[in-house]
Amino acid sequence: MNNLETLKQWVEESRHIVFFGGAGVSTESGIPDFRSVDGLYSQKFEYPPEVIISHSFYERNPEYFFRFYREKMLPLGFEPNVTHRRLAQWEQEGKLDAVITQNIDGLHQKAGSKRVYELHGSVLRNYCTRCRKFYSAEWLKESKGVPRCSCGGIVKPDVVLYEEGLDQDTLMKSVMAIRRADLLIVAGTSLTVYPAAGLINYYQGNRLVLINRDETPYDSQADLVFHESLGSIFSQLP
């Protein structure tokens, strides 16, 4: 049996699939990732992107942060692709327990997934840092300079910046889902951003599948590895 046939069989047999993904899940929807050759990190900015989207930079230079954020990090108007849709279908069929994502684009929910653990938050939620009033992503995109609430407070995206900690509840739920998983599919992530990447180590089963165009530091731990595009694999899964 080839690798794809094995994966198809595992998907058929599994009742507790967990999917753990990253920016590569959404590139086929048209949203660039960070580390591919045409990703954000290959473009030239005055500062490296990981500096701009850090908490200290946000505090020191909010005008620059929000200019970059609006231009490069606010993916509005994109549609889910076959991977998002297949995962939503598996959840509906009762065979997928959770999608754990490092993405901030909301496309899993747009495809219909309900149990989505967003490790790095979501651009769709924005809150006043003073009075906690909610603002939409469209509002933030249209705002100018440093976005201000009607009360005068800064409106900050609910996105985890470098140097900021992850939400503990989301992290715990992710760990629990991975511990229970009978099939763990890790896909579209370079597995270089911690603590998210370390979640793989909580998996206790023997069906760890890695699907990523480029090699990752975890390839040798996986039971099946595909260095292919996600769409080409997911479009063939049941």
120 near ligand CNA, judged by CB under 6 A: yes
Q: Draw the binding track, 86-115, toward ligand CNA (x: CB under 6 A; -: no contact).
A: ----------------xxxx----------
Pick the binder of ligand CNA from 184, 185, 190, 203 (CB under 6 A). 190
Using CB under 6 A, which residues numbered 123 to 182 contact ligand CNA? none
Q: Which of residues 13-42 bind ligand CNA (CB under 6 A)?
A: 22-24, 26-28, 31, 33-36, 39
* Three-state SS letters, the chain: CCHHHHHHHHHHHCCCEEEEECHHHCHHHCCCCCCCCCCHHHCCCCCCHHHHCEHHHHHHCHHHHHHHHHHHCCCCCCCCCHHHHHHHHHHHCCCEEEEEECCCCCHHHHHCCCCEEECCEEEEEEEECCCCCEECHHHHHHCCCCCECCCCCEEEEEECCECCCCCHHHHHHHHHHHHHCCEEEEECCCCCCCCHHHHHHHCCCCCEEEECCCCCCCHHHCCEEECCCHHHHHCCCC
211-230 binders of ligand CNA (CB under 6 A)? 212-214, 229-230
Q: Establish how many alpha carbons lie within 13 A of residue 50's alpha carbon, considering only the half-sphere containing its beta carbon.
A: 9
Residue whose entry in the numeric block shows the structure tokens 């840092």: 129
Instruction: Check if 16 is active-site.
Output: no
**Nearer to ligand CNA among residue 3 and residue 229 (C-beta):** 229
Site for ligand CNA in 56-85 (CB under 6 A): 75
| CB of 94 vs ligand CNA, minimal distance in Å | 26
Residue 173 or 213 with smaller CB distance to ligand CNA = 213
Compute the least distance from the CB of residue 110 to ligand CNA, in Å. 12
- Kindly state whether residue 209 participates in binding ligand CNA, applying the rule CB under 6 A: no
Single residue of 193, 209, 210, 237 touching ligand CNA by CB under 6 A = 193
Binding site for ligand CNA (CB under 6 A): 22-24, 26-28, 31, 33-36, 39, 75, 102-105, 120, 188-190, 192-193, 212-214, 229-230
Which residues participate in catalysis according to the annotation? 120
